[in-house]
Amino acid sequence: MRVLFAVGLALLLLSVESVVVKYLGLTLARIDVTVAIVAFLSLRSGLLEGAAGAFAVGYLLDLMSGRPTGLYTFLAVLTFLLGRIARSLVEVRGALGFAVFALAADAVHGLLALAVTWLTSKTWGMGALSPAGLPLEVLLTGAAALCLYPVLQRFGPVAERAEPGLIELHR
């Protein structure tokens, strides 16, 4: 159920984003709404359920990017797994905590995207890939996560952990 919700939400948000980006004329950065959803899955879902959800969300991003190569499907699952590891180290509470978690996830996702693309293509150094837009992208994604928090909460609290974590992010 949570996977279907994540996929439906990702499909809706990606469609809206592609139109909004057109009107806003954002050329340098996009809002990684899918990473916010993957972050939610890593905090809230079980291993298999979350990985399947992340796979589906990444597949959608790949598809909507116009040139599906599998890159974002791979990165979504990887980000989900890294998010699961992070979840065991930090406690995420409240909208702000979730936004910071999504922000960090997007930074990792963006850097991994650059690294993997660099490793698998010959276009590095020709302006094809640029980390210049990453800080803005990360901030926009954090803001988007903050806005998405109430919607995601409808499918259960973002994180519930009995034991205290190493870093605590309070509301």
Residues of this chain that bind another protein (CB under 8 A): 11-12, 14-19, 21-23, 25-30, 33-34, 47-48, 51-52, 54-55, 58-74, 77-78, 81, 113, 116-117, 120-121, 123, 126-130, 133, 137
In the bound complex, what is the minimum distance in angstroms from residue 156's beta carbon to another protein?
A: 20
Residue closer to another protein (CB basis): 78 or 108: 78
Residue closer to another protein (CB basis): 73 or 108: 73
In the bound complex, what is the minimum distance in angstroms from residue 72's beta carbon to another protein?
A: 7
* Cβ(103)–Cβ(139) below 8 Å: yes
Handedness of CA 63, 64, 69, 72 (dihedral sign): negative
CB-based burial label for 40 (10 Å; 0-12, 13-18, 19+):
buried
Residue closer to another protein (CB basis): 53 or 97: 53
In the bound complex, what is the minimum distance in angstroms from residue 59's beta carbon to another protein?
A: 8
Provide the 8-state DSSP code for 158. Answer: S
Residue closer to another protein (CB basis): 48 or 166: 48
In the bound complex, what is the minimum distance in angstroms from residue 43's beta carbon to another protein?
A: 17
Give every CB contact of residue 95 below 8 A, 6+ residues apart in sequence: 146, 149, 150, 171
What span, in angstroms and rounded, lies between the C-alpha atoms of 161 and 1? 22
In the bound complex, what is the minimum distance in angstroms from residue 25's beta carbon to another protein?
A: 5
Amino acid at 71: L
Both tokens of residue 100?
């910071």
